[in-house]
Amino acid sequence: MGGADEGAAPDLRQLMAAPVAVQVGPLTLQVRPMGWYQATLAIEPIIPLLATLPDALADTGAESRAEAAARWLQLAASSRDAVAQFAALASGLPEPDVRELPPEALVTLLLALLEINADFFVRSLPLLMERAGATLGLWMGKLQAAEAAGAAAASTTTSSA
């Protein structure tokens, strides 16, 4: 028959990745890759920032290094709250602590968070969006076909009356 675990609730902790040690200044943080809920919370504050990145990061080729640095600093300053929220939510650190990090420690933490969660950002999220788009397109096609059939039936009913 079945094993000893038959009927037992699955241990979903087996799906969770082990924490990764991240050296941030003198501290070693244990950061676990984000779960889907944590990822959606962490991404939400930086969505407006992500929307501006292509234009903000475009290389005009005509600017000096100082102008490029100024553009990067402006981008960082205009999104500091979103970056702090993302780093806090993604790392599990308290947001006030993230806001107090030295700049080089924050950059180290952000790069580690992106690397640890690269599978989500690079593979899973685009695949989810592609499949969701295909499914929504299929549903929309069926809905439009049903509406057209309903309209055709209605016109047939009114013309025969």
Q: List, in sequence order, every residue forming a beta bridge with 30; answer none if it has no partner.
A: 21
CA distance 45 to 34: 15
> Of the ranges 59-63, 86-90, 136-140, which one carries the lowest mean pLDDT score?
59-63
Phi then psi dihedrals of residue 11, to 5 deg:
-90, 95
Amino acid, res. 46? I
Dump pLDDT digits (tens) for 2-56. 455 566 776 666 666 778 888 887 888 888 888 878 888 888 888 777 666 666 5
Do 72 and 107 contact (CB within 8 A), yes or no? no
List strand residue ranges (DSSP E) for the chain, in order.
20-24, 27-31
Where residue 7 falls (left for φ over 0; alpha for ψ -120 to 50; beta otherwise) is left
Of residues 147 and 125, more confidently modeled: 147
Q: Which of 2-6, 24-28, 66-70, 83-87 is modeled with the greatest confidence?
A: 83-87
pLDDT band at 79 (very low <50, low <70, confident <90, very high): confident
Helix (H, G, I), strand (E, B) or coil at 151: helix
In the numeric block, which tokens belong to residue 121? 């950002």
Closest CA to 125 of 12, 40, 31, 33: 40
Do 86 and 95 contact (CB within 8 A), yes or no? no
Closest CA to 116 of 42, 27, 48, 45: 42
| Percent of the residues in the chain that have a pLDDT greater than 70, as a whole number | 70
pLDDT band at 59 (very low <50, low <70, confident <90, very high): low
